[in-house]
Structure 1
Amino acid sequence: MQVYLGIHSRIGFVNLLPDGFSWTLLRYIHGDQRVHSAQRLVALKAECNSKLAVALTIMEECFLSMVDSRTGIDMIPHVLYNWGSHFARLNYIGFHTVVLEKDDVLMCVASIRIHGVTVAEMPLIATCSKYRRRGMCRRLMNAIEEMLRSFKVEKLVISAIPSLVETWTVGFGFKPLEDNERNSLSNINLMVFPGTVWLKKPIYQSQTTNQPSGSGHASPSIV
Structure 2
Amino acid sequence: MCAAHVKDFEQRARLMGGLYLIFFHLQKFLGKSNPTDIGDLSWTILRSNEKDGHDLHTSSYIEAMTNRKLENARAVLRDCYGRIVQPVTKTNLIKDIVFSKESKLPYQNYRGFYTMILDRGKRPISVATFRVHGDKVAEVPLLGTRVTSRQRGMARLLMNNLQKRIQYPSWFLQMPAHVGNV
TM-score, normalised to structure 2's length?
A: 0.80
Give structure 2 stretches of 5+ with no counterpart.
Answer: 1-19
Query: Is structure 2 residue 128 aligned with structure 1 residue 107?
Result: no
What amino acid maps onto 2:173 in structure 1? L
Structure 1 residue 145 displacement after superposition: 1.7
Give, in angstroms, the shift of residue 21 of structure 1. 1.1
- Asked if the contact 2:25–2:165 (Cα under 8 Å) also holds between the matched residues in 1, the reply is no
Offset of residue 111 of structure 1 = 0.4
| Structure 2 CA distance for aligned equivalents of residues 141 and 13 of structure 1 | 17
CA distance in 2, matches of 1:46, 1:132: 29
**What is the TM-score with the length of structure 1 in the denominator?**
0.66
Distance in 1 (alpha carbons) for counterparts of 2:180 and 2:71: 29
Consecutive aligned runs of 4 or more in structure 1 exceeding 4 Å deviation: none
Which whole-Å deviations, capped at 9, do the CAs of 1:36-57 have from their partners, x for residues lacking one? 4xxx533432332111110111
The CA deviation at 1:135 is 1.9
Find the counterpart in structure 1 of residue 7 from structure 2.
none
Report what 2:47 is aligned to: 27
Distance in 2 between residues matched to 1:103 and 1:22, nearest whole Å: 8
**Contact in 1 for aligned 2:130/2:141 (Cα 8 Å):** yes
**Please, which of 122, 131, 136 is the counterpart of residue 118 of structure 1?**
136
The answer to whether residue 16 in structure 2 is matched with residue 8 in structure 1 is no
Letter in 2 for 1:35: L
CA RMSD of aligned residues (A): 1.9
- Percent of aligned pairs sharing the same letter: 29
- Summarize deviations over 1:146-195 as a string: whole Å, max 9, x none: 123x044521111112568xxxxxxxxxxxxxxxxxxxxxxxxxxxxxxx
Instruction: Spell out, residue by residue over 1:40-93, the C-alpha distance to the aligned partner (whole angstroms, 9 max, x if none).
Output: 533432332111110111111111322222211221100000010011011000
Q: Unaligned regions of 5+ residues in structure 1, if any?
A: 165-221
